[in-house]
Amino acid sequence: MGKATTSARNGTFLGRLTGSKNGLGLIFMLPAATFLLCFLTYPLGLGVWLGFTDTRIGRAGEFIGLENYIWLLDDPVFRLSVFNTILYTSVASVLKFGLGLWLALLLNEKLPMKSLFRAIILLPWVVPTVLSALAFWWIFDSQFSIISWILMKWGWIDTPINFLGDPTNARAAVIAANVWRGIPFVAISLLAGLQTIPASLNEAAALDGATSWQRFRRITLPLLTPIIAVVMTFSVLFTFTDFQLIYVLTRGGPVNATHLMATLSFQRAIPGGQLGEGAAIAVAMIPFLLAAILFSFFGLQRRKWQQGGAD
């Protein structure tokens, strides 16, 4: 082998390409790159392009620059939807984190029928969103709500609560539904993180005189932060781009009080026919999402203690 083949290969361009490590790597990456280009970059690129045009359904648009965005900046409904999205994401994420962590800590204890409980916890996540949204729609119904019915039976209220008709109630209701649906992901992921913490660390801390709160604060929580960072980044992204729950429960109402950017974008683009404007609203979500990703990337990077070797 060796010399003869090498020199023969060196002759042609293809030979040189396959001969070099980088060239060969490029060839091997081509299929994946093509795939990504077609199915990821093209739709994203088309969306961004549409945002710069005045395309409507049934009419090819023209490039109008930033006109869509300038117009949206003055649109009170769009501004309200941004506010709603931020409120929805922050309140729901905080609740999901708190309740999810609490649930994970409970499930990490020695319980009888542990695996059964864990399976049950996963249910809200496994059920199709539309299905659970329909269930919540019924739970929040203005006349037949089971919550109102029970509270009335107990004599706490006289008339049914108008869950989805009142702006404040509606916001609380959709957040509650989102939290219910999002907890399993947070709880199960954090539980997986908890189980990587060796029991001997907690035992050592107990011997060192730590109370259970101190063990949680000084051992469990710091060791869990890397997992928390990843899980909460994902949770925030999912929540920020949520569509299904809102669309089934309120369609953005009442009076746009629960319109998120995703639902507003859909409403403007498809039922409203303004493809360009809808695309611009969707594109306006990207900076927020990037900010969330960058926050978790820089703010919650691997800590020094997680890195081995070097000083």
Partner 1 sequence: MATVGFRNVRKAFGSVEVLHGVSFDIEEGEFVVLVGPSGCGKSTLLRLLAGLEHISSGDILIGERVVNDMPPKERDIAMVFQNYALYPHLTVGENMGFSLTLANRPKSEIAEKVGPAAEILGLSNLLDRYPRQLSGGQRQRVAMGRAIVRDPQVFLFDEPLSNLDAKLRVSMRAEVKNLHQRLKTTTVYVTHDQIEAMTMADRIVVMQDGIVEQIGAPLELYDSPANLFVAGFIGSPAMNMLSGRIDPDNSSRFISKEGVALPIGRPLVETPKGGAIYGLRPEAMRLGGDVRLKVEVVEPTGSETHVIGRLGGVEVVGVFRDRIEARPGDEIGFSIDTTATHLFDAASGKRVSI
What's the full length of the chain, in residues?
Answer: 311
Nearer to partner 1, 32 or 207 (CB): 207
Binding mask 140-179 toward partner 1 (x if CB under 8 A, else -) reads ----------------------------------------
Q: How many CB atoms lie within 10 A of CB 152?
A: 15
Q: CA–CA distance from 91 to each of 178, 200, 240 (Å)? A: 10, 36, 11
Count of residues near partner 1 by CB under 8 A: 26
DSSP state of 272: S
Which residues in 292-311 contact partner 1 (CB under 8 A)?
303-311
Q: CA–CA distance from 156 to each of 114, 143, 149, 161, 184 (Å)? A: 36, 16, 10, 11, 31
Considering the rule CB under 8 A, would residue 25 count as an interface residue with partner 1?
Answer: no
Whole-angstrom distance between the N-terminal and C-terminal Cα of the chain?
45
Nearer to partner 1, 172 or 210 (CB): 210
Considering the rule CB under 8 A, would residue 204 count as an interface residue with partner 1?
Answer: yes
CB 99 within 8 A of CB 242: no
Q: Quick one: which segment of 6-14, 108-116, 153-161, 203-211 binds partner 1 (CB under 8 A)?
A: 203-211
Q: Which of 92, 191, 219, 292 binds partner 1 (CB under 8 A)?
A: 219
> How near is the Cβ of 188 to partner 1 at its closest, in Å?
23
Considering the rule CB under 8 A, would residue 111 count as an interface residue with partner 1?
Answer: no
Nearer to partner 1, 6 or 306 (CB): 306
The span from the CA of 252 to the CA of 254, in Å, is: 7
**Which tokens is 168 given?**
């404040």
Q: Which residue has the tokens 């710069």?
A: 52
The span from the CA of 66 to the CA of 68, in Å, is: 6
Considering the rule CB under 8 A, would residue 115 count as an interface residue with partner 1?
Answer: no
Which residues in 244-303 contact partner 1 (CB under 8 A)?
303
Interface with partner 1 (CB under 8 A): 198, 200-201, 203-211, 214, 218-219, 222-223, 303-311
